[in-house]
């Protein structure tokens, strides 16, 4: 089972992924966590390049770096873990490319869908937890964390990204659960558990109650 956590900059994804991983490890769920960009060795190099280069990067060059990272993550980490029967918890995945490079940067969404399909071999999340936060709030938090080429983009860009994530959630309500990430971290964590655990039980990754 593949669960992805998505959301704008500063929404608290990393804190949530850490809390969920700790909780499910303690419950004995076989678990693999990963993140994009940067889950693999090659991905860490790509992450540094795409987020921190001072050189000019075209929009498609930026996109292909994220897709190269995703392709490596799926091939090296996600698929092998799924074959071992593990739950995979991924901090960002294909929806980030649709929201940031599609809705945010304005690249063609259908083409990005096809490129995501090529990069992932068509592997879709069983559940996506979308952390929704007003862009003003998220961007301030993201910049306090150090910032990068994308976090530092204009507020208008982050508004389009936020709108993009919401559009994805509205189009796929069975896959995507939208959570209010302006709540305290503990409330976000419990809402995420409530969304995920019935599915983990059905997949027999957790005992039935
Ligand atoms: P991340 O490490 O999750 O940063 P944060 O914790 O600040 O949200 O992601 C790094 C940045 O990369 C983030 O600004 C979103 C961006 N990104 C894309 O633009 N497209 C993508 O496909 C992915 C995976 C990330």
3-state secondary structure 156-193: HHHHHHHHHHHHHHHHCCCCEEEEECCCCHHHHHHHHH
Cβ–ligand 1 distance for 66 under 6 Å, the answer: yes
Cβ–ligand 1 distance for 92 under 6 Å, the answer: yes
Cβ–ligand 1 distance for 14 under 6 Å, the answer: yes
Positive or negative, the CA dihedral 162, 163, 168, 174 is positive
| Run means of pLDDT, 10 residues per run, the chain, 209 residues | 97 97 97 98 98 96 98 98 98 98 98 98 98 93 83 94 98 98 97 97 89
Cβ–ligand 1 distance for 67 under 6 Å, the answer: no
Cβ–ligand 1 distance for 6 under 6 Å, the answer: no
- Structure confidence at residue 42 (pLDDT): 98
- Structure confidence at residue 145 (pLDDT): 79
The closest residue, in CA terms, to atom 25 on ligand 1 is: 96
pTM of the model: 0.97
Dist. CA 80 → ligand 1 center (Å): 24
- Give me the domains of the chain, ranges plus CATH numbers: 2-202 (3.40.50.300)
């Amino acid at each position: 089972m593949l669960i992805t956590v998505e959301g704008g900059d500063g929404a608290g994804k990393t804190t949530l992924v850490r809390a969920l991983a700790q909780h499910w490890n303690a419950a004995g769920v076989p678990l693999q966590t990963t993140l994009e960009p940067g889950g693999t060795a090659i991905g860490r190099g790509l992450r540094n390049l795409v987020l921190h280069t001072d050189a000019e990067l075209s929009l498609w060059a930026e996109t292909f770096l994220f897709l190269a990272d995703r392709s490596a993550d799926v091939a090296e980490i996600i698929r092998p873990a799924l074959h071992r029967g593990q739950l995979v918890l991924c901090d960002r995945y294909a929806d980030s490319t649709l929201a940031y490079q599609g809705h945010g940067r304005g690249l063609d969404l259908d083409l990005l869908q096809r490129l995501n399909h090529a990069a992932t071999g068509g592997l879709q999340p069983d559940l996506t937890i979308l952390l929704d936060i007003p862009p003003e709030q998220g961007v301030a938090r993201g910049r306090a964390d150090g910032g990068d080429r994308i976090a530092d983009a204009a507020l208008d860009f982050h508004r389009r990204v936020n709108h993009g994530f919401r559009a994805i959630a509205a189009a796929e309500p069975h896959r995507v659960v939208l959570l209010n990430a302006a709540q305290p971290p503990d409330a976000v964590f419990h809402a995420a558990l409530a969304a995920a655990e019935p599915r983990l039980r059905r997949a027999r990754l957790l005992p039935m109650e």
